Structure 1
Amino acid sequence: MTGFQYTSRVLWFGYVVLFSVAAIVCFVSVRRVDRIEDPDSRRGLRAMLVISGLWAAAHVGYIAAPTPTLQYWFYVGGLVVGPATVGAWLYFCSAYTGRSLHRNTRIRQVAVGVYLVVVSIKVTNPIHGLYFTASPSASPFPHLLVQHEPLYWITMGLAYALAFIGFFMLYELFLEVSYDTAALFGVVLLSGLPILIDVGSVTTNRFVEFTYQPLGVAAFAIGVFYVYIDRFQTINLTGETDEPMILLDETDRIRDYNRAARTLYPELRGTNGVPLESVLPSIFETLDATDAILEIERDGTTSYYRLTTNPFSASGEQLGRMLTLTDITRREQYRQRLEQQNDRLDQFASIISHDLRNPMMVAKARIEFAVEEGDISHLQSADEALDRMDELIEDVLLLAREGQQIDEPVPVDVASVAEKSWEMVETTGATLQLDEPLDRTVDADPARLQQLFENLFRNCVEHGSTSPASSARQNTVEHSLTSRSEPVGSEDGVEHGSTSSRSLTEDQLERGGRDISVTVGPLPAGTGFYVEDTGTGIPAAIRDEIFDPGFTTNEVGTGFGLAIVTEIVQAHGWDIRTMEGATGGARFEIQTASN
């Protein structure tokens, strides 16, 4: 045997062994695919391994077949099977990186259509001869030499372009996760090295001119399923979802996290191996809670996330816990609004059942007295009781309306609205001052902001008497059933209802409006505005109660004015508090959300 024949024989044997091993590795690795938890990733990997194994086996047949005819058909068989590997590769890459391209029906239909067109071109090559031509060759060993024609280069260019898309998906995922992906990145690069051999087989005579990609798939299978299965599975878990995800080891140390988690919690950066308790104590404290809801404030915005904890494993070994945070902000905000609405309904039910019942009973009793005694003077008391009911109903409806959320606030000048509101309130003897500089705007509903000022101004004017504002109700309409006497004027009150068209009584104006000064000014640092009067102020003991619906210390007040103010403030997302003013009067501070 000559040296050339010996070398030729060794090369032939090397090709047979190399592709036989590749086929065996691919087929054997199919059994290990079940260790991958994601079903779509499993499906793509399984298809890629089976197809690549068949492709490698076809190469063995092409090289080892005893006749040119058999070699030809083994080669054609490889041409038919090979393109399907690209589809399986893209399916796997899409699933593994958390995309949904592999589930898109239109994309799958187009992919199958392109595959069938390519296969039909290859199978009909004996007719048109535009894909390849074949002739016997003895170099580097006896085989069927294939010469590629134009359609081959077109289809191969398309296949390489599509394969590159898959590589890019993986590369992007490896950049997103914080886990050490260098080893897996090397495995992916290794699977692409046969492309260089493909180029070498065309440009030199050192390699048999066919596709060497089955070798890359076999190398990928060895790296993934026999060396880096845990790392492969970990990255798959963190990359398959857009939701923030944190992986913990068995001692609750941070093992990995995805980009979404790092965006939500910037403090996660560089914390691999650090105990979760020291990085995110708020999450650590709720790990074992059922249906844990996390409230997260970032840049003045509050978001709500549901924390889900699940164990994760690879190769049958428990690796730790997987924390997933699902954004439920809209759902939680809706729940809170619904809860507030239910609370208001309860308040309204209480008002209707109690506050309306009393004047209704008074009116009914007075009418009965008028009928029994023939004294129509009782009808005046009945009319006053009905007026009282009308006031209560009007305020209840207003309270319900002002509590509705404001969807489209606009910039509103505070000073202009305050002056306009002052003109809408009976303020005989009282004066309005605008503390300079009150040149700021707030994002608000103009009508509701005016309603807010009117209620505050009315409260300031009505309760600003010279005697303590703490008297209990006396001789009210509700109590007149037993005395059959007419209701008399009220004692001084803290809060007196809404800014409806009702006029203040002469007694209220005489005792409240006279010599009262009301000031509207900005809060420090532009955080809001205040309304302050020079009256007797609000006793500290009842400052927490004055915003409750129905609370009043005045017989003629409905007790809804400041409750309406609260509803307007909350509907804007603002805060309100009351305190003692500079001269001992009442001071209301409204902290707005805008600066």
Structure 2
Amino acid sequence: MIDGLLIGARFWYLAIFGFSAVATFVSAVRVNRIAEGDTRRGLVALLLTSGGWALAHVGYLATADEQLGVFLYQIGLVVGLSTIGGWLYFCSAFTGRSLHRDPRIRQISLTVFLAIVAVKLTNDFHGLYFSSEVVSTPFPHVAIASTTLHWTVMAGSYALATVGYFMLYERFRHVSHDSRPLLALLGLTALPVGFDVLGMLVPGLMEITYEPVGVAAFAVGLSFVYFERFRTIRLAGDRDDPVIVLDADDRIQDYNRAATRLVPALDDRSVIGDRFADVAPRCAEKIATDDPLVTVYRDGETRYYRVTEQQFSASQSSLGRALVFTDETHREQYRKELERQNDRLDSFASMLSHDLRNPLNVAQGRLELARDEHDSEHLVAANDALTRIETLIEDVLQLARQGQPVEETDRVSLGAIARDAWGMVETAEAELVVDSDHDVEADPDRLQRLFENLFRNSIEHGGEDVTVTVGALDDTEGFFVVDDGRGVPEEERDQVFESGYSTAEDGTGFGLSIVEQIVAAHEWTIDLADVETGTRFEIRT
């Protein structure tokens, strides 16, 4: 009967530590769903080392051989000490710090770890860490009596664990008023000490270290707390912009402090679990549109926020999304001001077209009648001047209209548009070479106008027999237009896109300005490249 009781006692102790090891290993598989690499690695390391510690204790409790028992106990001490590394690695990565990647901190940590491990493994020689003996109650096993050095190392380990706790506390303060998950985590931190105290106070319990069970419970609890709460803290806390985390059913899971200034209803934490559409209906309705720009009126000021969504999932299942509100007030104000300026410019262009063309047409008609009656070089000069005025009016109109933002684009062939534009230009003996027919997203009419102006520029400044080549850029998305003409003098390169700049006698100086306007309307960039001969324009799309 006594043998049966001994076997039963041993079974329950082995079952407790064994179950702790299995739980941590299963949880380690589960946390592999965490997307953030460093956070995942830290938590997996904590779980695996906690499980390894509990497993080593299973072996230690299963034997009554003193030499083997001490060896397994020492293995557990080494693996148990490494749990601190996994914990701090997780805390640093989760809170967005780079401490876990600092080479100096890594080197110091490894040196201290190896020094403590050396003391533990050489205990047989100095006996400063623990002493051992084989006892028979409540079943035959190797009893360990820890010394002062052991408790000193344990105190240092808990001090380091507290550092990780304060890292998390700072993140919770930044993100949320609700610190209950952190309090639950703090309670789990006390489990190892609690088990050890119970072992000393409760009759019938062995006076062994229960830390492997406590740390395993803490690590497993941390993994569950992470999936229930920490992942939303991570999503909400990575930005200073307002962030609201919703679950798969669009119910509010968490948000940061900035979000409470955007949606005042979030000041009340009781909205956690409510549908976002019920808490902020106008905001939710706006987010569902094709242009998710939220307008907020506060303290007599209007602010604009662009909403983007970040989906997060585990395996194939969607867990929800994070709504990120980026303040675009200055950009939106600039856009509205630009629209007003464009409207004024368009009105000016219309006035220019109507109010100047009519008297210009009258003057041209009268001049033709005068030339029929008189043959004078003065009339010829007047005709040239009126023609130039007409060209200037057309170019100013184009400058005004081509700068309007592009609202619709098509996928068009670069080569096809270039050839069409070449057909609209007086090319004399010039030659067009198309090196690439790849597609580009653009307004076809404006892209053709861009090519027409660049081609005219090449012929006007490069000569009537110039060769113009159109092709794709090698290093980035975009295209180039290059000619083998005289090129642009070094001292004039910074002026080519200025309105009114031209080296041709009959040029208006608006051609390249119109090109720049078309490029800007597409939100592209254009540069005059540095080449040995000729002129090369590079447009990056």
Q: TM-score, normalised by structure 2?
A: 0.54
Conservation of the 8 A alpha-carbon contact between 1:118 and 1:155: no
1:266 counterpart (247, 264, 267): 264
Are 2:93 and 2:100, in contact at CA under 8 Å, matched by a contact in 1? no
The one-letter code matched in structure 2 to 1:126 is T
Q: Distance in 2 between matches of 1:122 and 1:251?
A: 50
DSSP-derived class of the 2:55 partner: helix
Structure 1 residues without counterparts, runs of 5 or longer: 377-595
2:147 maps to which residue? 148
Distance 1:346 1:210, change over 3 A: farther
Please give the alpha-carbon distance, in whole angstroms, between the structure 2 residues aligned to 1:337 and 1:209.
77
Choose the corresponding residue for 1:114, options 109, 112, 136.
109
Q: Which residue of 2 aligns with 1:284?
A: 284
Name the structure 2 match of 1:101.
97
Deviations 1:415-458 (A, max 9, x none): xxxxxxxxxxxxxxxxxxxxxxxxxxxxxxxxxxxxxxxxxxxx
Instruction: Indicate which of 58, 65, 78 corresponds to 2:76.
Output: 78
List gaps (5 residues or longer) in structure 2: 379-541
1:195 — aligned with what? 193
In the alignment, what sits opposite 1:304? Answer: 304
Query: Could you say which residue in structure 1 is the equivalent of 2:538?
Result: none
Q: 1:337 to 1:95 in 2, by over 3 A?
A: farther
TM-score by length of 1: 0.50
Q: Deviations over 1:115-154 (max 9, x none)?
A: 343223422563997783443335685425344354x455
User: For the residues of structure 2 that align with 1:82 and 1:57, how far apart are their CA atoms?
Assistant: 11
Q: 2:39 and 2:265 mapped to 1: Cα distance? A: 31
1:443 aligned partner: none
Tell me, what secondary structure is at the counterpart of 2:286? coil
CA drift of 1:334 comes to 5.6
Amino acid in structure 2 at the alignment position of 1:304: Y
Deviation at 1:327? 3.1
Tell me the number of residue pairs that the alignment of Structure 1 and Structure 2 aligns. 390
Looking at structure 2, the residues matched to 323 and 259 of structure 1 have their Cα atoms a distance apart, in angstroms, of 14
In 2: Cα distance, 1:127 partner to 1:12 partner: 27
Name the amino acid aligned to 1:295. Answer: T
Corresponding position of 1:454: none
- 2:22 is matched with which residue: 17, 20, 24? 24
Cα 1:191–1:6 change in 2 (3 A) is farther
Give the match for residue 295 of structure 1: 295
1:87 aligned onto 2:85: yes
After superposition, give the CA deviation of every residue in 1:532-570 in whole Å (9 maximum; x if it has no partner). Answer: xxxxxxxxxxxxxxxxxxxxxxxxxxxxxxxxxxxxxxx
Q: Which amino acid aligns with 1:306?
A: R
Q: How does 1:121-200 map to 2 (within 5 A)?
A: 121-124=116-119, 126=122, 132-138=128-134, 141=137, 142-150=141-149, 152-153=150-151, 155-172=153-170, 182=180, 185-186=183-184, 188-198=186-196
Tell which deviates more after alignment, 223-232 or 55-64.
223-232
Q: CA shift at 1:20, angstroms? A: 1.9
Greater shift, 261-270 or 172-181, is seen at 172-181
Q: Which has the higher helix share?
A: 2
Give, as a single letter, the amino acid of the residue that structure 1 aligns with 2:115: S
Instruction: Say whether the 8 Å CA contact 2:99–2:105 is kept in structure 1.
Output: no
SS in 1 for 2:254: strand
2:89 alignment partner AA: Y
Q: Show CA shifts across 1:86-126 (max 9, x none).
A: 12112323444xx212576326x513531343223422563
CA 1:154–1:102: 2 relative to 1, 3 Å: farther
SS in 2 for 1:304: strand
Q: In 2 relative to 1, CA 246–212 (structure 1 residues): closer, same or farther, beyond 3 Å?
A: same
Match of 1:394 in 2: none
Alignment partner, residue 385 of structure 1:
none
Partner in structure 1 of residue 535 of structure 2: none
| Equivalent residue, structure 1, for 2:524 | none
Which position in structure 1 is the counterpart of 2:31? 33
Q: Secondary structure at the match of 1:132?
A: coil
Residues 175 and 255 of structure 2 are in contact (CA less than 8 Å); yes or no, is this contact kept in structure 1?
yes
1:254 Cα deviation after fit: 3.7
Paired with 1:255 and 1:122, the residues of 2 have a C-alpha distance of 43
1:49-448 matches, within 5 Å, as 49-96=47-94, 99-102=95-98, 105-106=101-102, 109-124=104-119, 126=122, 132-138=128-134, 141=137, 142-150=141-149, 152-153=150-151, 155-172=153-170, 182=180, 185-186=183-184, 188-198=186-196, 212-220=210-218, 222-223=220-221, 229-231=227-229, 233-248=231-246, 252-270=250-268, 271-310=271-310, 312=312, 321-332=321-332
Letter in 2 for 1:148: T
Q: Distance in 2 between matches of 1:77 and 1:194?
A: 18
User: Structure 1 residue 56: deviation in Å?
Assistant: 1.4
SS in 1 for 2:287: coil
Letter of the 1:164 partner, please give it. T
* Structure 2 CA distance for partners of 1:167 and 1:117, relative to 1, 3 Å: closer
Give the CA deviation at 1:47: 1.4
Contact 2:191 2:218 in 1 (8 A): no
Are the structure 2 counterparts of residues 60 and 279 from structure 1 closer, same or farther at C-alpha, using a change threshold of 3 Å?
Answer: closer
1:239-281 per-residue CA deviation (whole Å, 9 max, x = no partner) reads 4544322234566454433322123322222233544345323
Which secondary structure state, in structure 1, belongs to the residue aligned with residue 325 of structure 2? strand
Does the C-alpha gap of structure 1 residues 230 and 126 become closer, same or farther in structure 2, counting only changes over 3 Å?
A: closer
Deviating more after overlay: 190-199 vs 232-241:
232-241
| Mapped contact 1:72–1:144 kept (Cα < 8 A) | no
> What's the counterpart of residue 475 of structure 2?
none
The amino acid that maps onto 2:81 is P
**Alpha-carbon displacement from aligned partner over 1:439-488 (angstroms, at most 9, x marks no partner):** xxxxxxxxxxxxxxxxxxxxxxxxxxxxxxxxxxxxxxxxxxxxxxxxxx
Give the distance between the partners of 2:46 and 2:144, measured in 1 at CA: 27
**CA gap 1:328/1:208 in 2 versus in 1, 3 angstroms:** farther
Q: Give the direction of change, closer, same or farther, for the CA distance of 1:317–1:25 in structure 2 (3 Å limit).
A: same
Separation (CA, whole Å) in 2 of partners of 1:19 and 1:312: 35
Matched to 2:142, the amino acid is H
